[in-house]
């Protein structure tokens, strides 16, 4: 017998999905046969409190349990079904299972079209969406609860003449460049933009519109998520400008010395972020050659600079000064008058510290978490205004996770309310960030990549290069293996705000109002004409008169009567 070739991970997942679907059909038929019809079924469902939502929510768990056990039944052969026959959720590997130490509920684990190369969260109604790009050139946007694909298309590609190349063209696979970074921003209430950076240095902008077709609660709602206009290339490499412009005037400045040690992949975009100044919006991009690009939203390149150290993170937000976190320290970029970035001095921070990864708190934008190359987790406050940026180090403690990787992109840090997520190829850790300013984050949970894959029936290779992670509100998406995305909903306890005392008399604002009222009445009485006319008596009366037949009370010589 000839040895069989090992099957890929995608084929194994397809077989598992086909088998689970066949089991779903069998269980549905059994449930319909045993449920009964007419008033008996209605009374039973009313008595036990069951509903259509609960049965749909519990079905995946029952299927997984029956697939693991139930050895007396004959195993059904896997059937290869087409995408249309499997329906809208054909790519969903698992859903409805409460995993990750009962604090992270698995909404859905979906299989992407190829190896994931970038992951980000898109703002939208309720919890937004998660967008992935794959090595095969696919752009997919997933619903965070049901796992449904709300948008799926090929990555945009423009030729030398600037015209978009259709995916059906024969030259598309040859011209396609891998997507290496992505970030999303909200434009209006129901509009958002997605920026995607490629390995050849190009950056494309996708403008989306969102509309709720069926406005119900999860997971029955239907969303229309589509492109508003054709994708636009806002940055093209190689950049024709020879240097950085002084103050955005367009004049050539110091010539950029490219780092040749980065090789042919040095132009790959590694970081993207969006900033707003008044009505103007700017995009900041950086590549592996440590080149910084400031781009206007219309695609005009305003400023370029060669950084001395690799860029680690950028502080998002609406501000006129951009805080750049490089491996060698923090720097400030002025959006009003772009010029060479200035270093930022941090109080209580040793001069020899080099940063490995960073993330800014989503609830408190001035609070940031940094991982150093020595393996320490540092907490700092970075406050900025129109002119200056202040930085103060608060805490420092050992991270407890391996940090020495070949590339910096293999560690991702994201935050949700009161918690910090750190993802590495070996797994994902969760840190509790509540407490006083001088209390460092505390690790409370860690789940290995193999364990996350085992929970949904996916084999994770030991040498996974990427550790993509995205978070928004209380939703978190984690890359599992190479082509599976797990979307979780956080049930981590959140510290409630302190309750206000119900005793009205003890409230400072009430006491202040009483004091103001007393002071006002005192001044009103003291003011002339407010409550009387001195010793003359009531208004409209003369001075103190005498008895009938008597004059007024006389006084000293030279003085009138009282």
- pLDDT score at 66: 40
Tell me the pLDDT tens digit for each residue of 464-487: 677 899 999 889 999 998 899 999
pTM for this predicted structure: 0.71
Residue 185 has pLDDT above 50, yes or no: yes
Cα 247 from Cα 177, distance rounded (Å)? 33
449 phi, psi to nearest 5 deg:
-65, -40
| Spatial distance between the Cα atoms of 562 and 555, rounded to a whole number of angstroms | 7
13 assigned to some structural domain: yes
Q: What is the pLDDT of residues 6-30, one digit of tens each?
A: 566 667 777 777 777 666 666 766 6
Nearest residue to 403 (alpha-carbon basis) of 425, 421, 431: 425
C-alpha distances out from residue 163 to 156, 233, 326, Å: 10, 10, 36
> Which structural domain, as residue segments, surrounds residue 52?
9-83
Any domain includes 40 = yes
Residue 291 placed within a domain = no
Report yes or no on 39 lying in a domain: yes
The segment with the largest mean pLDDT, out of 2-16, 187-201, 542-556, is: 187-201
Q: Are 481 and 494 in contact (CB under 8 A)?
A: no
pLDDT of residue 51: 38
Q: Is residue 446 in some structural domain?
A: no
Of 24-28, 154-158, 539-543, the one with minimum mean pLDDT is: 539-543
Assigned domain for 32 exists = yes
Query: Tokens at residue 340, please?
Result: 């060479």
Q: Is the pLDDT of residue 284 over 70?
A: yes
The pLDDT tens digits of the residues spanning 489-504 come to 998 887 765 555 555 5
For residue 180, being part of any structural domain is answered with no
Q: Which of 231, 224, 226 is nearest to 203 (CA)?
A: 231
251: Cβ contacts below 8 Å, ≥ 6 apart? 245
Q: Output the average pLDDT for the chain.
A: 76
Q: What is the mean pLDDT of residues 126-139?
A: 92
Tally of domains within the chain: 1
Torsion of CA 446, 451, 457, 461, to 10 degrees: 110
Query: Which of the residue ranges 122-126, 391-395, 406-410, 518-522 has the most confident prediction, judged by mean pLDDT?
Result: 391-395
List pLDDT tens digits, range 210-259. Answer: 988 766 555 567 788 999 999 999 998 765 444 444 444 333 333 345 55
Q: Which two tokens stand for residue 128?
A: 């937004």
Residue 43 lies in a domain: yes
Query: Which of 348-352, 362-366, 370-374 is the least confident region?
Result: 362-366
- Token pair, residue 191, equals 């509009």
Cα dihedral across residues 61, 64, 65, 70: positive or negative = positive
Burial class from Cβ neighbours inside 10 Å (0-12, 13-18, 19+) for residue 66 reads: middle
């Amino acid at each position: 017998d000839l040895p069989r070739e090992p099957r890929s991970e995608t084929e194994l997942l397809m077989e598992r999905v086909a088998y689970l679907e066949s089991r779903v059909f069998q269980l549905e038929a059994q449930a319909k046969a045993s449920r009964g019809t007419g008033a008996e079924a209605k009374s039973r469902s009313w008595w036990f409190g069951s509903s259509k939502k609960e049965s749909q929510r519990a079905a995946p768990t029952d299927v997984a349990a029956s697939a693991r056990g139930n050895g007396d039944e004959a195993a059904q052969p896997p059937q290869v079904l087409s995408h249309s026959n499997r329906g809208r959720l054909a790519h969903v590997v698992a859903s409805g299972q409460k995993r990750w130490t009962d604090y992270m509920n698995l909404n859905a684990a979906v299989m992407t079209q190829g190896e994931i190369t970038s992951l980000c969260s898109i703002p939208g109604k309720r919890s937004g969406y998660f967008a992935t790009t794959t090595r095969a050139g696919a752009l997919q946007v997933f619903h965070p609860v049901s796992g449904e694909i709300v948008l799926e298309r090929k990555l945009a590609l423009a030729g030398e003449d600037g015209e978009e190349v259709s995916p059906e063209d024969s030259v598309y696979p040859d011209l396609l460049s891998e997507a290496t970074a992505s970030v999303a921003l909200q434009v209006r209430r129901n509009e958002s933009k997605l920026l995607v950076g490629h390995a050849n240095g190009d950056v494309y902008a996708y403008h989306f519109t969102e509309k709720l077709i069926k406005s119900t609660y999860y997971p029955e709602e239907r969303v229309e998520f589509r492109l508003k206009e054709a994708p636009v290339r806002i940055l093209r490499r190689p950049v024709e400008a020879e240097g950085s412009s002084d103050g955005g005037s367009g004049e050539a400045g110091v010539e950029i010395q490219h780092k040749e040690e980065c090789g042919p992949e040095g132009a790959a975009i590694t970081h993207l972020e969006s900033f707003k100044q008044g009505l103007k919006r700017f995009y900041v991009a950086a590549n592996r050659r440590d080149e910084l690009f400031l781009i206007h939203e219309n695609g005009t390149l305003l400023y370029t600079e060669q950084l001395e150290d690799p860029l680690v993170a950028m502080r998002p937000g609406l501000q006129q000064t951009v805080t750049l976190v490089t491996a060698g320290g923090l720097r400030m970029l002025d959006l009003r008058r772009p010029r060479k970035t200035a270093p930022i001095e941090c109080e209580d921070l040793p001069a020899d510290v080099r940063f490995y990864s960073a993330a800014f708190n989503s609830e408190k934008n001035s609070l940031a978490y940094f991982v150093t190359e020595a393996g320490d987790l540092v907490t700092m406050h970075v406050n900025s205004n129109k002119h200056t940026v202040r930085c103060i180090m608060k805490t420092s403690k050992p991270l407890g996770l391996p940090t020495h990787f070949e590339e910096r992109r293999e560690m991702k840090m994201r935050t949700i309310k009161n918690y910090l997520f750190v993802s590495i190829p070996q797994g994902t850790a969760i840190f509790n960030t509540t407490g006083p300013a001088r209390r460092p984050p505390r690790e409370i949970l860690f789940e290995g990549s193999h364990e996350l894959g085992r929970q949904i029936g996916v084999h994770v290779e030991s040498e996974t290069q990427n550790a993509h992670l995205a978070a928004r509100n209380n939703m978190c998406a984690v890359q599992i293996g190479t082509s599976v995305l797990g979307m979780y909903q956080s049930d981590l306890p959140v510290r409630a705000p302190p309750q206000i005392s119900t005793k009205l008399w003890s409230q400072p604002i009430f006491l202040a109002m009483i004091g103001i009222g007393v002071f006002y009445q005192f001044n009103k009485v003291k003011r002339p004409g407010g409550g009387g006319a001195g010793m003359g008596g009531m208004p409209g009366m003369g001075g103190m008169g005498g008895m009938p037949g008597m004059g007024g009370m006389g006084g000293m010589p030279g003085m009138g009567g009282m």
